[in-house]
Amino acid sequence: MPLAESELAALVEGGCPSCLGTKLVVSAYVTQNLPLLEGELYGRPSWAYKGEDLVRGTFTIACVGCKATLYETAACFLCGRENGIREALEAESTFALPTKCGRCDGARMDARAYVPIDVVYAQKRTEKARTQVEPHEPGFHAFRAECKGCHEVLARHTPCALCDG
Ligand SMILES: [Zn+2]
Ligand SMILES: [Zn+2]
Ligand SMILES: [Zn+2]
């Protein structure tokens, strides 16, 4: 079961029961938009999620101070598959970023991907979301690309856009 928004808020406000620390790191899968030119990143990726998406994609909440785990799930939040999140973190993307549009030959595309992020909370959110994952690295899972010119959309065709389940 994914976390409810109220459960996340309660965990974050309660802090760490082991060391009483108030700084927690929430790890979650969220979506990112990536501007592409010929299949390569062209400009700065931007976040494409809302608060409720962050809650839904949360898979670990841990204490920054003592590293205690306050919440953990390995099930994929999209398809519910057991261990889906763990496998997604270790697997490379199976959706190749297109180098050009199959319809108009345009080289500029907007891709969308699931990436794992860390957000640090100290009773409320304190820092910007960060990700360490680049497109060619394990954990990054592109699932859609749209041509900037003709808006042709290419989408991943595996049963689950995140974990391949
Ligand atoms: Zn702690
Ligand atoms: Zn096109
Ligand atoms: Zn899945």
Q: Tell me: the pLDDT tens digits for 39-79?
A: 999 999 999 898 899 999 999 999 999 999 999 999 999 99
Residue 36: its H or E element = strand 23-37
- The CA R_g of the chain, rounded to the nearest whole Å, is 17
Ligand at minimal distance from the CA of 79 is 3
Q: 85 CA to middle of ligand 3, Å?
A: 7
Cα of 47 from ligand 3 centre, angstroms:
21
| Distance from Cα 33 to the centre of ligand 3, integer Å | 20
pTM for this one?
A: 0.91
> What gap in Å lies between CA 147 and CA 126, rounded to an integer?
36
- For 89, the 3-state DSSP assignment is helix
Give the integer Cα–Cα distance in Å for 148 and 81: 34
Residue 5 Cα to ligand 1 middle (Å): 22
The residue written with tokens 């929430």 in the block is: 26
The residue ranges of the chain whose pLDDT is under 70 are 1
- Alpha carbon of 66 to ligand 3 centroid (Å): 31
22 Cα: distance to centroid of ligand 1 (angstroms):
8
